[in-house]
Copies of this chain bind each other. A is one copy, B any other.
Amino acid sequence: MTKELNNEQIARFAKALGHPTRIAILRFLANRTTCYFGDIFEELPIAKATVSQHLKELKDAGLIQGEIEAPKVKYCINRDNWKLAKSLFVELFDDCVCKKGGCCK
C-alpha cells in the first residue's frame, strides 16, 4: 500500500469516526450481545432516518456490517476492518512523534 493510499484509507476511517453519534453507535454495538437497528434507535435521541444514515456511513466506511434477520436488521462491528483501522491509527500516532531535535517543544 502506498503512503498516499494509506493516508486515504485512514482518513476514510477517521471521517466515519468524526461524529459523536457514530462513536456512540460503535460503543453501543461493542457492548451488547444483540444489536438490532431498533435497539440502537431506542438508545439515541434522534430520528429513525438519521440513525439509518449514520449506520450507512459506518457501513460504507467498512467499520460495521448489517445483516437482515427479517423483519429486523442486525448490525455488528466489522472485525477485520476494525483491526485494520486500529493498526493504521496506532501506526499514525506512533509515526507522528516529533523527532529529537525537531521543532516541537
Contacts and interface: CB of A to CB of B under 8 A. Distances in A.
A75 B98 CA distance: 12
B29 A96 contact: yes
Contacts of A11: 17-20, 22-23
B27 A95 contact: yes
Nearest to A90: B90
A85 interface: yes
- Quick one: copies of this chain in the complex? 2
A40 to B, nearest CB: 12
Interface in A1-40: 3-4, 7-8, 10-12, 14-20, 22-24, 26-27, 29-35
Contact of A10 (B7, B10, B23, B104): B23
